[in-house]
Amino acid sequence: MRRWFADFALVQGRWQSDVQIGVDRGVIVDVQTAAPRAGADHLGRYVLPGMPNLHSHAFQRAMAGRAECFEKPDDSFWTWREAMYREAATLDPDRLFVIARLLYADMLEAGYTRVCEFHYVHHRANGNHYAPMSAMSDALIAAAQEAGIGLTLLPTLYQRGGFRDEPLAPRQQRFAFALDDYLYLLDSLAARDEGFRLGAAIHSLRAVDAQIIATLCAHDELSNRPIHIHIAEQRRELEDCLVMHGRYPIDRLMDIAPVDRRFCLVHATHASSTELEAISRCGAVVGLCPTTEANLGDGLFEIGEFRRLGGRFGIGSDSHVGLDPREELRWLEYQARLASGRRNELASADKPDVATNLWSEAVLGGAQACGAGAGGIAVGADADFLELDPDDAAFAAMTDHNVLPAWIFATARRPLKTVIVAGRSVIKNGRHAQREVFEAAYCETLRNP
Ligand SMILES: [Zn+2]
């Protein structure tokens, strides 16, 4: 077991001083506050738990910034989706690997220590399987391992074009899986022990039939693994679901699936008050991706109400138009301020510090969505730590207890100093050691489609 020491660390939602942390095989096994420094390696003056990124489509990094020009008066998620399909059509395992590897290094430099990869581009462009069938999954696993980020791989089930069982369009064929083939992939990935976590994803209610969702949720291999689903993101999806089933999507999901702590409901943008209550009661996590949701014009999630209900949430960079956990968290608070006309919305008299609340809560929700045993700097959690640079000029006028708000709400002038994943240092002095190599391969690949 290795012992680390932090002068100040964010432990259970509070800054604590003189924190000693025991780590064994990548997992925290002991946390002491007001502890002696002797016998422990110095982790830093200001230490945070690493942030899980609970929603990523790695390949979309390559198109971020390429769908920002007017096409027609009703540009929307659906017109953006056409650009995304064009990008998906270019992928093969080698290209996906190179894109994901640099993306994951970028995430680590920004303070994301784990990523849930909601992975739906499985096959060749004509729908034929690769050999092995897991070739695209293997590319993501290899990219995460080379970059050093913790991966929760979520192979995604995608079967139809809409709520009325519409067939998939030709460009969607490479997403399609028959249930038997999908479960074979899942079971074969579960049998491997290669340093990644595994869960499942259902693309959306429109893409998978209710009976199949129920069968998937009852699959033995998923009894204790995360299950993610895109839900209630788009108004058209709400209307279609209501017409077909007489229920809005989250109510519908609750009707057909045993939604519990395994679940991450990605977006849930248009959840009603009763749906928010139901989510918080069952312990599922809501996966919020504020920069992508803003970029796509999705709408505003009622984060203030959800927090008051005790709901769990985490953050994801999704389409990667943003790649900084602080930006996602600021957007959560700012969208609540813009809607209410008040400040410091995601805080209260007993928990007054917005930055501490947001970071701590998103770490816990993110860890749950990743399938981790615990979250934050706590026994049973992954030993993922960030060291802020105490010499950053942004902290010059701050007391030790104001450092986290300064880091999140006032732009830091220096990057994170050190990033540790599962007890291993992957970012030193703000840089990934392989950045130049990953960048060169990325640029060469993208310049030569
Ligand atoms: Zn998504």
- Residue 21: the pLDDT is 98
Using one digit for the tens of pLDDT, what is the confidence trace for 326-350?
999 999 999 999 999 999 999 999 9
Interval between CA 278 and ligand 1 midpoint (Å):
22
Q: What span, in angstroms and rounded, lies between the C-alpha atoms of 270 and 233?
A: 6
Amino acid code (one letter) for 344: N
pLDDT tens per residue across span 366-386:
999 999 999 999 999 999 999
Longest distance between any two alpha carbons in the chain, whole Å = 66
Same domain assignment for residues 185 and 332? yes
Pair 419, 429 in one domain: yes
Residue 180 in contact with residue 147, Cβ under 8 Å?
no
Q: What is the pLDDT of residue 322?
A: 94
Strand (E) or helix (H) holding 245: helix 235-245
H/E segment holding residue 217: helix 210-217
d(CA 43, CA 388): 10
Determine the structural domain holding residue 400 and report its residue range: 2-49+377-435
Please give the structure tokens belonging to residue 115.
């990523």
Distance CA 178, CA 175 (A): 10
Q: What is the Å distance from ligand 1's center to 158 Cα?
A: 13
pLDDT at 449 over 70: no
Side chain identity at residue 203, one-letter code: H
Q: How many angstroms is it from 391 CA to the middle of ligand 1?
A: 37
The confidence score (pLDDT) of residue 413 equals: 78
Distance between CA 157 and CA 154 in Å, rounded?
Answer: 9
Ligand 1 center to residue 116 CA distance, Å?
11
Question: Do 11 and 120 share a domain, yes or no?
Answer: no
Q: Do 90 and 34 belong together in one domain?
A: no
Model confidence over 153-169: pLDDT tens digits?
999 999 999 999 999 99
Q: What is the pLDDT of residues 399-444, one digit of tens each?
A: 888 899 999 998 777 889 999 999 999 999 999 999 999 999 999 9
Residues 294 and 348 in one domain: yes
Strand pairing category for 227-231 and 200-202: parallel
Per residue in 66-123, pLDDT tens?
888 888 877 787 778 888 888 888 999 999 999 999 999 999 999 999 999 999 999 9
Helices (H) and strands (E) in the chain, counts: 14, 17
Q: In the structure encoding, which two tokens stand for residue 286, read together?
A: 């809501």
| pLDDT given at position 85 | 85
Q: Do 276 and 247 share a structural domain?
A: yes
Question: How would residue 194 be classed by pLDDT, with cut points 50, 70 and 90?
Answer: confident
Q: What sign does the CA torsion over 294, 299, 304, 308 have?
A: negative
Is 444 part of a structural domain of the chain?
A: no
CATH no. for residue 202? 3.20.20.140
**21 and 77: one domain?**
no
Residue 141, number of CB atoms within 10 A of its CB: 22
Q: What's the average model confidence in pLDDT over 43-61?
A: 97
CA of 254 to the centre of ligand 1 (A): 20
Share above pLDDT 70 across residues of the chain, in percent, rounded to a whole number: 100
Last residue of a domain, one of 351, 370, 389: 370
In 10 A of CB 156, how many CB atoms? 25
Show which residues are catalytic.
267, 318
On the question of pLDDT at 307 being above 80, the answer is yes
Interval 4-31: pLDDT, tens: 999 999 999 999 999 999 999 999 999 9
Q: How far is ligand 1, taken at its centre, from the CA of residue 229, in Å?
A: 9
For residue range 247-304, list pLDDT tens digits in order: 999 999 999 999 999 999 999 999 999 999 999 999 999 999 999 999 999 999 999 9
Mark whether 45 and 55 lie in a shared domain. no
Distance 56 CA to ligand 1 centre (A): 7
**Given 322, 347, 370, which residue is the final one in a domain?**
370
